[in-house]
Amino acid sequence: MTTQEVANRLVTLCREGKNMEAMKELYDTNITSLEMAGAPNPEVKGIEAVTEKSNQWYAMVDEFHGSEISEPIVAGNHFTCTMKMDVTFKDANRVQMEEVAVYTVNNGKITQEQFFYELPPQS
Amino acid sequence: MTTQEVANRLVTLCREGKNMEAMKELYDTNITSLEMAGAPNPEVKGIEAVTEKSNQWYAMVDEFHGSEISEPIVAGNHFTCTMKMDVTFKDANRVQMEEVAVYTVNNGKITQEQFFYELPPQS
């Protein structure tokens, strides 16, 4: 698949809430997942650890109220999109999250994901 | 300025070829500029050093044949766009460059830029 095709497929699956299926289908075994410096798990490597990180996140969610994923834009072997989510966590906090996501594609598989968002102020 | 306003202004100036003016107007004094790991100058800090990095790059260019900058997409205090350039360098190499750019905005100024592109194969 080209970078554009991988981008379209990722966005389609994520819009259907099939994020875990997207990882299984599109992520390389040696995927690197990067969060903001200062966030938990700022760098996780390997499909098993990255899947586990996502599972842990979903386990904290009580209810999804909605999400919005932009059309992807592509340059070379990278693509980017924005992701917005309205979520209530099990601790009863309702949060509107928004982030820029950047994906690296090699040989038709996503080899890196990196997320950019505002960190909560230091307490 | 909001993140969306900073994004629109950056894209407008860059489409007019006014990249250096964009830096002067929109970049924070403590800007951090991140390239791909393995590229020259992977991390440069401060407006003077970042301006100098750009000046050095422009000094290598013989001719711009065209450029294409996507509409920016915004999430929280970040925005992203793609940038494509067709350039002949003074060493006579003509190159079609394309990259994803991600910008962080704080208090109406760009405090970080990060670029994602394909590195040439290791020789």
Q: Three-class SS string for B44-88?
A: EECHHHHHHHHHHHHHCEEEEEEEEECCCEEECCEEEEEEEEEEE
Question: Is A121 among the domain residues?
Answer: no
A82·B75 Cβ contact <8 A:
yes
- Which pair of tokens denotes residue A49? 């650890």
ipTM above 0.90, yes or no: yes
Counting the structural domains of chain B, the total is: 1
Q: If you measure CA to CA, which chain A residue comes closest to B79?
A: A100
Distance CA A56, CA A71 (A): 27
Rg of chain B taking only CA atoms, in angstroms:
14
Say whether B35 sits in a helix, a strand or coil: coil
A100·B78 Cβ contact <8 A:
yes
User: Quick one: pLDDT at residue A91?
Assistant: 94
**Residues A13-17: what's their mean pLDDT?**
96
Question: Is A83 among the domain residues?
Answer: yes
H or E segment at A114? strand A109-116
Question: Is B122 among the domain residues?
Answer: no
In order along its 123 residues, chain B shows pLDDT tens digits of 999 999 999 999 999 999 999 999 999 999 999 999 999 899 999 999 999 999 999 999 999 999 999 999 999 999 999 999 999 999 989 999 999 999 999 999 999 999 999 998 765
User: Quick one: pLDDT at residue A123?
Assistant: 55
Q: Determine the residue type at B88.
A: T
Structural contact between residues B100 and A75, judged by C-beta atoms closer than 8 angstroms: yes
Confidence of residue A110 (pLDDT cuts 50, 70, 90): very high
* CATH (domain of A30): 3.10.450.50
Question: Is A84 among the domain residues?
Answer: yes
